[in-house]
Amino acid sequence: MATIIDGKANSATVIEKVTAAASALEAKTGTRTGLAVVIVGDDPASHSYVNSKSRMAKQCGFHSLQHTLPEDTTQEALMALVAELNADPAIHGVLVQLPLPKHLDSEPVIQSILPEKDVDGLHVVNAGKLATGDLDTGLISCTPAGSMLLVRQVHGADLSGLNAVVIGRSNLFGKPMGQLLLNANATVTMAHSRTKDLPAICRTADILVAAVGRPEMVKSDWVKHGATVIDVGINRVAAPEKGEGKTKLVGDVAYGQVSEIAGAITPVPGGVGPMTIAMLMANTVIAAYLSKGEPRPIF
């Protein structure tokens, strides 16, 4: 039976370190770490995410701002707000909650955030720094950074001699995850929907990362005995066993059967999910340190 990698416990450890780092920076320089979150419209899931981010920022001792804009906000108004936040020295991190309403184009908005305030790690400058192996001056996308921390908990910082397979090639997760694994000396295969004989490729992995958005796609016969399995999927599916109309969250991995084969596995929920917000807080305090010319804290 696999060891369960506890994202809640790991995220709590990160938050403790972030809180201590924010307090130390304020004591040394008088600078309070600042995070601004922008949300457009009234999507309930987005509001739930944003509220949890704002709560966590306050828990870490940050100066926390939330800008809630109406559904019919124009592209120009949103870009103007981002420009204001870019210019505000009290704000070290700027986050625009995605997805935006359909009439807005998210890419120019994301790219207009200053790279040094891009705590989501989505700006092309931060993506480029990661791609070229610069892990010291850029900000890394939160979910891959959190997933990598969980991998390190099992295998340590140096993944030399280990094969890693990432299923999924998105800019948001798959590509940066592959680059982080490569930077840690793993031999990395990037797999996706067009990969020939995907199960056979997955069976070569000492570290298997699933991020495809297909409920329980990865079965036990896809997994090497003793492999570490990181499940990034969050899928809501029908749960008739709970009652009519009820649903539950499952990952991209068939957890019940794969946990019999794997050496270590992240559950859904409670695995990678909690790490994302923790690493967002980590990125924000890193941005604050870098803004003052201080060495970046390590999490």
The residue type found at 56 is: M
* Dist CA 140 CA 144 (whole Å): 8
Helices (H), the chain: 7-29, 44-59, 75-87, 106-112, 124-131, 142-155, 174-183, 198-202, 255-258, 272-291
Residue pair 253/210 in contact by the 8 Å Cβ criterion: yes
Q: Which helix (H) or strand (E) holds 229?
A: strand 228-231
* Partner residues linked to 231 by β-bridges: 210
Residue pair 291/25 in contact by the 8 Å Cβ criterion: no
Burial 142-174 (b: 16+ CB within 10 A, else e): bbbbbbbbbbebebeeebeebbbbbbbbeebbb
Measuring CA to CA, how many Å separate 194 from each of 167, 168, 190? 11, 10, 11
Active-site residues, by number, are: 53, 97, 120
The residue type found at 140 is: I
Q: Which of 270, 297, 286 is CA-nearest to residue 7?
A: 270
